[in-house]
Structure 1
Amino acid sequence: MAAAPCTLNMASVLALLLVFSVHWTGRSHAFSLMNYLCNNGSSYALNSTYRSNVVALLGSLSANASSSAVGFATGTLGRGPDQTWGLALCRGDVNGSACASCLALAPDVAFGKCRGVKDASIYYDRCLLRYSDTDFLATPDDAAASVQYGANLQVNVTADPGRFAGLAADLVGALSAWAAWNSTARYAAGVVTSAQGFTTTDHSLVHDIYGLVQCTPNQAPEACLACLGRLRDEIPDVFNGSTGGQFNAVWCNLRFEVFLFYDSSPVVKLVAPPVTPAPPGAAVHGDANRTRGAGHAATVVAIVFGVLVIFLLSTFTIYLWRKAQVKRSADEKRASLDWEARYRILYGTARGLLYLHEDSQVRIVHRDLKASNILLDADMSPKISDFGLARLFSADNTTTVTSQVVGTLGYMAPEYAVLGHLSVKLDVYSFGVLILEVVTGRRNTDMFESAAGESIILLSYVWDHWVRGTALEAVDPSLACHCQAPEAEAEVVKCIHLGLLCVQENPADRPNMLDVLVMLHGHSSGFAAPSKPAFAFAYGETTSSDERGILSVSRAAAAFSLNGMSASEFQPR
């Protein structure tokens, strides 16, 4: 009997330590309540079954979300009028313990500020939670709530607020595409940098705008993009002039600030274009107009004529200077793309295509893969962009036939351009063209100058060198100093070999993207021999075509035949 008081005291001490630990953890993460919505459509009694169901559901959501790899959970509890539905989502850069600590604060709002309300949405800076007596999980019905900062915290841009809001919207757009297509958590954070910067009402000069977007992970990429797109379109009107803003909604949310507010590494890094200066001579024209008078018409004409001559000479000089600068800039950029950077671009693009073809929830064919749709961040890491022409396939469906052929000429596989046969092998063909462009430094759509006896079409040019055993002569001359080592030389030849395998005429002969990645890691000695690329012409061959047909090459007879199909549109949209 004497031991009982001691046991009780130890239990009390442990309970106090646990409470202290929970409160200390919450303070260390400094969770901020950003917004809450008490939808007063209906209410419940404090001792009702519905309240008990809400209490149990909030605990279940917190446990499931904090243990989830993507910090997300949904659930329902009860029956009939006492049934409640709920959703919990933690920000993509918080760990499980921080997620649990953040969601543990939600009951304070649910049973305090929203006491007795059956439908409530609670938004903290690192988590959100909603519960309702209606099944909002089946049909999203929530509207976005903007977070307006108090007057004492409000900081505005003092000059060109429209440009600032436009850059914030551009950053959100890039982050939205990344979150939708490259993140299973549907989360992305990034930054856009302006060299000129923006002056603010607190007398500071800011250069960086940090942004974050997130959707619920159970959404399809298209739904996530649409949700974030609606919020992005409202940024200029709602936050015009403000250096920070936030939209809170259950299914998607976004935030931008001029200070770093997230814990993850930025996956998108943008550089703002320079500010366009005022047209030269504008002030002179204004002065001339102000001095115009009936008695000085001849003087005004002389002034205007002199200004016009000076303006034209200045414009022509600037044109020549900028033309030289553009050429020098292009040469400098090409020189900065050494072989290591180019190989990293090819490898990263191949990984992105493999995700679209095999690892995403639905099979995705991009249909417009080309160099201009590969974006590079500050670390030269590639990001596939522009999914406006993408086609979705179910897991058990790998091909289809379409009557609307869209894309970019020069990157479309022959079976797609001619017959409308659409499959993942279309992207493989486009990737093969991209490989050859990166290695040679030439664009597939250009008719470039070449030596006598060489084709002026990229695929034919590379194929001719491959057949002659002079593949290295097709490599970009700026890579000559980078490919002197035997290992680098073998890697370049391997990429040419792989590019030719990807642009073969028969889709069955082309490797899939998993094979491509394996080949990039392996040695070309184990590769199959490539066959002649589609749309490749030997030097000296001539062709003719009429307006209603297209030309195709038969590998067997190497003869041209007219195809009278007219169901497809071959001009790029």
Structure 2
Amino acid sequence: MKQSVAIVTLQLLCFVSLLLLSTYASVFDDERYFLCNPTNNYTNGSIYGQNVNTTINSLASNASSDGFYITSVVGQDLDTVYGLVQCLYIISKEDCQTCVETAAKDIGNFCQNKKEAMIGYSNCSLRYSDRRFFSTPSNSPIAAFANTADVTYPDVFNPQLANLFKNLSSTAASSTLRFAVGTASYSDFASDNIYGMVQCTRDLSENSCSSCLQEIISVIPQCCRQSRGVRIFAVSCNLRHELYRFFLTTSTSISLPLSPPPPPPSLDRNSVPGATTNTTSSDGKKSTSKTMVVIVVSVAMAAMLVILVVCGCLFWRKAKKKVAGSDPDVHDHHERNMESLLIGLDTIKAATRNFSDEYKLGQGGFGPVYKGTLFDGTEIAVKRLSSNSGQGLIELKTEVMLVAKLLHRNLVKLLGFCLEEKEKLLVYEFLPNGSLDKILFDQNKRSSLEWERRYRIIVGIARGLLYLHEDSQLRIIHRDLKASNILLDEQMNPKISDFGLAKLFGDSQTRGNTTRIAGTYGYMAPEYARNGYFSPKSDVYSFGVLVLELVTGHKNSVFRDPTNLLSHAWLHWTNGTALEIIDPSLGDQWPRFEVLKSIHIGLLCVQEAAADRPTMSEIITMLSSYTITVAAPLRPAFFVSTGNFSTDSALDSGSSRTGDSRERERSVNDVTISELHPR
């Protein structure tokens, strides 16, 4: 009885403590700080007051154009006002404008009639003064915000963090933007990374920026040592670090060796003469909890609370583990992998100009795709899943976890994902030539796909599928292979994309079954479309359709002949007129052997019975060989005859034969294709 009471008590303690921690986290995300000089005031209606209003309005109007703006409103004697505004470099223009407008409104409320004031948020800061402060660094006072949770390996984490900020401060100080981001790993797990960012106001010189950053970096051991996430703000610079990716790519990418932690630097607590510092939460209520002294006390109290929470939750988790038999280490590693791929919505909005229509690349079945450009010039493609699309969280997580582990030149590279504000976003490398269907099925563009490029695309897709089926650590069935899911890089090399419907296969598994048929008709194997059976041979069937589309330039699902593309190709093959189906835009500049071989392979892949189709390893062998001896293809699935062809082949009814008679005909109708070379 006592034990059950203790468990209930610990559970309640966990629940209440987590509520308190979540409240603290919301303040951490929406922090605001302001600095007002209490000894230097102006009167209402004075010329200086009018110049302050003009300065603030000018800063608010011009900030979003470049994220940084300085101005001065000249008056007589002591009436001149100097102003500066700066946004975080990785946010969009729209978010910058919103933040600055809020700052312009709030600074008058919190620092009413003050001749010198500053207000800052996570995304922007605004400052004005009666003295010229441009290019003059001001390190103090300093506001710090720390995550109450501690890192797992502080002895390793702290020196790695120190080295990361040392490198970032040097990079930022030497850059024209006075900004840098980067990563450092602190364990053997690739997902255990520290993500850091530093920024100075752009008016500072290299030395001034460096000294300002070193000053706030030295605060970390005093206020926030071992914290999982920290944000520190000074008047002229700021920094942030997290254990998740809050920016997309890095201008400084660091992989540091483990080293003993450095001695903690001293903290200079000198402040700007005559200035006071206060902070408020996002609801506007004043609070002094963000000053340095109270932060230390808050962190200490939070640490005690965390100890109680951890003890209670570990006890609860241990009991739950005995019941469920789960492995928390595996789960934690999975969560770390997911967390390392998280990308902030602000970063994506900035890259795509808030999903502007002019950046839209196209519209897929699950939603639009946008082109984006990061602050370092890197181009990305963002798939924005619509709220009413068939692809939900399950498909998104499937795609993230699968594609992140797949590394092959013929597979598109996933950079990360975002699940903020009801958005479901996938971020990929940008491929400038778009999808294959946009070129192959366009009357004006298909001429750019000469045969050499088409054959290279066929081989590249085959190699990508071979990797998925046999060579990767995870055996994967794509289930939605089609021309629109083949992307082309700048050299027209193919990359397989869109793994939202992909399925994992066990090492000994040969076939799977699903009651949810998803994919694209025309590319779906018959056993999958009819009964939900899928296997590597399902992808082989889709590959065969793609090959025939590349040869003919026609899309299977909209083939204009009364029959379909597969039947059309097979009828020509059996009548010895296979070369008549070649895309006319290819002209006569194509090798007969490669074209016939491609048609042959395509027809072998689209046969009715999955067992009759070759494997991807066999297909690669055929594609790389100059002499192949393989069976003649049987009638394809979904065969439609028009009666326009009179075939003398006994294969017209091959798909309905017994196994023995089929094997006899396969041996009789073996086909050898050879390409002759001069000696």
TM-score normalised per structure 2: 0.42
- TM-score, normalized by length of structure 1? 0.49
